[in-house]
Chain A
């Protein structure tokens, strides 16, 4: 089987779907001739022509708004928001239109859009190229919010998203594009070619849109996380000696609650780890759900390790980023508390 980076896996997913379904169209800022600032769509315009893969004006509300009209027509648009930090101008289209079109029209019109957006920090992107805005989307009824953590899932989930009749917000942790970054920013990153999840089939396959994956089985502590923090949590488990069961949520909403509940009932302890700011973050919802469904199995308060409630800084990036040391401390607190 071929190995792919996450970028190659995403491109392969779009290639497969452009080939299989004439109704798939791809557009966004710089995605056409140039192939995207992260090169995810490189070569696709050449292969499928400029009426199916094309550049868009710098207008996120226009990109998403036109995609709603195309979806109503019967197309399956896959649009790219260049950085998740740039989705805000499209908020009205996403929240009031994309998410509710099926509901308000009683199923007459749907918006089967896939909205791709690179998210997360660790690339010295400063406060406008580093955000993790997933909680904005999980708060909106009618959206599916997905975040893969590896090339295999990235391709399988993106194909599933494109085929899905619900709108999908597809968040791509850009720090993972080229390898499973574990938060040790002072060390070289292992390339995906040396990681088992870098093995990606060439053809069509899907990963389920509403199921979590147990990334690392463990007995002592359930870790709920997603995206880049999956590998940071893995490093933290190794370095803290805590036998953590790391659950890669993959689909943030709808959420695979069963996998979470089964794990917490087994370990009796839980830590939630994400890169986004803490207050009102998706971790808060996870904590609420775990206490609601597993309260009598919990032996300690649920631990949260997250980005600080500050904008994402530029020069102080690694003080902001919840790296392996902070995550390991969180794991230890979760183990020590009673």
Chain B
């Protein structure tokens, strides 16, 4: 028997494979080839999706062909609609970033590189199904063709802001477009999505819920709580984990992604789970439909991990060049979702570079015109915001005496 003292213990703090000035080694993503992953029937047992939680469902190959069992039935018209909605999301984001730099809005969050996930998912849901989004699912709204002027009025916090100036820009609420109020703190929406789905089941309705969370926030207890409740009550809900690799400056391994996947969290909870190429419009649509059909057939929840990359900064208050390689997105192996769907449509003979350029130009003009109109209603910068008196409204259904007194104290 050795009498040697044991080696001292060491704390493991995960590190990304690339920091500024380096090239990220993306082999940690463990990609599957397009078309290689099986598609089980929707009534499969959760435990029998274990392999799908570690693989990567992909439809579009590197040449723009749709291959394998997950190829969805989408018409060229639907594909063109999806491409246009993604492009609109991207151009809208770009325009709002500039407006933020011009101090026309206080803050902005773009979803560059992640457009396919929200847009294709929205197309796979039915009207009346409710999304419980985070701040990076504006694609859900673009796919529902929400008037751009309304969105901008919220962003500019002006007199026509539907949120009456109470919320940071981007924290929209749109009941009529099936978009639950975004909170701004993290993960709380996940048990809420499950509860909304439970309510639909309690009432014997046919609507389903779709909850959204980033890889970083899956570390919150509310995420795990949501998995438990979704499983226990077999709630008609889709649990979307958007793994864009970065939570502000922390790499996905700090959220617990190292050596496992976020989809695998679902397997342990008894939930059918898929890991999907989030930059592949066709794969996103196909997996979303699979999960939606499953939920609507009383077969319970599905967790989907969407593998993507946060191409931009976390928000306008962030500078990602301080913690990751500046050209990281160019090397991300799953590419750009807009470019990939465009390539596919051109390959089908249903799209051209000329049409793409013309669409982009038309969208830019539409966005610019919307901005001009929204700016005419004011902004935080010019003080044309909802009245200070309105601050006291909606705390309760009816204003109680103490708030009336405080409003009088403010003199409004």
Contact = CB atoms under 8 A, between A and B. Distances in A.
Contacts of B175: 105, 108-109
Contact of B191 (A66, A105, A109): A66
Interface in B205-250: 209, 221-222, 225-226, 228-229, 232
Contacts of B16: none
Interface string B373-412: 0000000000000000000001111001110000000000
A62 B188 contact: no
A171 interface: no
Contacts, number: 141
B283 interface: no
B191 to A, nearest CB: 3
Contact of B402 (A68, A97, A255): A255
Nearest to B221: A61
B166 interface: yes
A254 B405 CA distance: 13
A72 B189 CA distance: 12
Contacts of A93: 188, 191, 222
B262 interface: no
B190 interface: yes
Give the bracket for the number of chain A residues in contact with chain B. 35 or more
Contacts of B163: 104-106
A146 to B, nearest CB: 14
A260 interface: no
Nearest to A74: B199
B180 A254 contact: no
A313 to B, nearest CB: 30
B195 A59 contact: no
Contacts of A75: 199, 202-203
A262 to B, nearest CB: 14
Contacts of A64: 191
A67 B225 CA distance: 13
Interface string A80-107: 0000000001001100110001111111
Nearest to B132: A69
A58 B200 CA distance: 23
A94 B225 CA distance: 15
Contact of A69 (B193, B228, B395): B193
B197 interface: yes
A330 B211 CA distance: 54
A61 B225 contact: yes
Contact of B394 (A25, A57, A102, A257): A102
A70 B180 contact: no
A38 interface: no
A101 B181 contact: yes
A109 B190 CA distance: 16
B192 A104 contact: no
A107 B401 CA distance: 20
Contact of A72 (B192, B201, B396): B192
Interface of B: 130, 132, 162-164, 166-167, 171, 173-175, 180-181, 183-185, 188, 190-203, 209, 221-222, 225-226, 228-229, 232, 394-397, 400-402
Given A52-B202, A64-B191, A65-B190, 17 more contacts: A59-B228, A59-B229, A65-B192, A65-B226, A66-B194, A68-B195, A69-B194, A69-B196, A72-B130, A75-B203, A93-B191, A96-B185, A96-B188, A102-B396, A108-B162, A144-B396, A165-B397
Interface of A: 25, 51-52, 56-57, 59, 61-62, 64-70, 72-75, 77, 89, 92-93, 96-97, 101-110, 141-142, 144, 164-166, 210, 254-255, 257
Q: Which 5 pairs of residues, A with B, have the shortest CB-CB distance?
A: A65-B191, A69-B195, A66-B195, A73-B199, A69-B196
